């Protein structure tokens, strides 16, 4: 039994951990290094193991720093099975295809720069292409359900638990047996926190002998959420009544859906103007929102109840129109069903 770390160790991106047990090799995540040109270049370094020898990749969630090197892994010979939750599978597809497009554009830009300096353009290849990202989708196999153990091989079981971090996110318990020794190893992935909109609180962790824990924000306290929501409502109200527009830069995945959710809550609760129009101006955020709509199994109890009651949680008419959005809250609508 052996664990080795090939990313997100002494750093905060590029999550990639390899477990070797009873002749099987299991990878937990295969994320992209992000944050600087130097870190970008680290993505071009060898993985530190032979991808062709890996049997399984267990994906905790669909953030780029956890799934972004999957196309590269497949391109480098991985032919095993990728296992994750249904929501993470859809989100990872979106995230990897978006990353591939950015790598292609970046390579073209760098090739043009190189050509101007008289360097060989062939040196500048994208880290991976859209085709590589599409190829990697063929490796996605079994779907993980929270709390239900999956037997990967004799003596090796994996169980995904709700991490409450983004839609479909999980922490993963590996139960390993080798040479009469048993170990329970828990990989935290990225952990969420309680009281979020849409998502359930993180599941209680089971007993484990070893915990591999992310600690990106381990040295700080987040401020409570509710004051931030109140600040948002105040800014929107203030600007709306002056006849202005509020522009909210936002991550496409999770944060955009949370903002849409809170805007709907504000209108439903009479805290925001019912005649306000909301435009979601990002193809990726629009696609992510559609994926959120398709996965009510990931919602917390309050959001699931709204969904069952026919509530339009994320303003689907806004999503369908791809940028030119009708008012999702017509003034004749009841606050319950915008």
Q: Minimum Å distance from CB 166 to Zn ion? A: 6
- Per DSSP bridges, beta strands 181-187 and 170-178 are antiparallel
**Measured distance CA(89)–CA(290) in Å, rounded:** 14
Q: Which is nearer to Zn ion, 90 or 175 (CB)?
A: 90
Q: Which stretch binds Zn ion (CB under 5 A): 59-67, 68-76, 124-132, 305-313?
A: 59-67
Q: Minimum Å distance from CB 63 to Zn ion? A: 3
Closest CA to 203 of 148, 143, 262: 148
Q: Which is nearer to Zn ion, 162 or 190 (CB)?
A: 190
> Using alpha carbons only, what angle is made at residue 105 by residues 320 and 49, rounded to the nearest 5 degrees?
105
Q: Which is nearer to Zn ion, 110 or 255 (CB)?
A: 255
| Residues of this chain, 180-199, that bind Zn ion according to CB under 5 A | 190
The single residue among 63, 69, 103, 196 that binds Zn ion, judged by CB under 5 A, is 63
Q: Minimum Å distance from CB 66 to Zn ion? A: 6
Q: Minimum Å distance from CB 164 to Zn ion? A: 11
Q: Which stretch binds Zn ion (CB under 5 A): 38-46, 60-68, 127-135, 220-228?
A: 60-68
Q: Minimum Å distance from CB 50 to Zn ion? A: 27
Q: Which is nearer to Zn ion, 8 or 268 (CB)?
A: 8
Dihedral (Cα; 271, 274, 279, 285), 10-degree rounding: 50
Q: Which is nearer to Zn ion, 190 or 258 (CB)?
A: 190
Size of the site for Zn ion (CB under 5 A): 2
| Residues of this chain, 189-248, that bind Zn ion according to CB under 5 A | 190
C-beta of residue 295 within 8 angstroms of C-beta of residue 189: no
Which residues contribute to the site for Zn ion (CB under 5 A)? 63, 190
């Amino acid at each position: 039994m052996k664990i080795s770390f090939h990313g997100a160790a002494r750093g905060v991106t590029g999550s990639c951990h390899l477990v070797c047990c009873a002749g099987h090799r299991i990878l937990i995540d295969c994320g992209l290094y992000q944050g600087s040109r130097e870190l970008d270049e680290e993505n071009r370094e060898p993985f530190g193991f032979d991808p062709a020898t890996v049997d399984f990749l267990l994906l905790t969630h669909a953030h780029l720093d956890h799934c972004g090197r999957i196309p590269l892994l497949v391109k480098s010979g991985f032919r095993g099975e990728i296992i994750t939750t249904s929501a993470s599978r859809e989100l990872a597809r979106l995230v990897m295809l978006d990353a591939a497009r950015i790598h292609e554009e970046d390579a073209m830009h760098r090739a043009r720069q190189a050509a101007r300096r008289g360097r060989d353009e062939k040196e500048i290849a994208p880290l991976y292409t859209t085709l590589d990202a599409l190829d990697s989708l063929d490796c996605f196999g079994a779907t993980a359900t929270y709390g239900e153990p999956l037997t990967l091989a004799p003596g090796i079981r994996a169980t995904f638990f709700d991490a409450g971090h983004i839609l479909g996110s999980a922490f993963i318990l590996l139960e390993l047996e080798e040479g009469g020794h048993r170990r329970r190893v828990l990989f935290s992935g990225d952990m969420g926190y309680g009281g979020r909109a849409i998502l359930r609180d993180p599941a209680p962790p089971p007993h484990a002998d070893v915990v591999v824990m992310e600690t990106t924000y381990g040295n700080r306290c987040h401020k409570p959420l509710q004051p931030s929501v109140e600040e948002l409502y105040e800014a929107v109200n203030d600007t709306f009544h002056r006849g202005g527009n509020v522009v909210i830069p936002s991550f496409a995945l999770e944060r955009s859906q949370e903002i849409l959710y809170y805007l709907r809550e504000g209108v439903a609760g009479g805290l925001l103007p019912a005649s306000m129009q909301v435009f979601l101006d990002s193809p990726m955020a629009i696609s992510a929102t559609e994926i959120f709509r398709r996965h009510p199994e990931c919602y917390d109890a309050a959001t699931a109840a709204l969904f069952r009651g026919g509530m339009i949680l994320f303003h689907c008419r806004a999503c369908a129109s791809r940028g030119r959005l009708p008012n999702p809250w017509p003034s004749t609508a009841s606050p319950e069903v915008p």
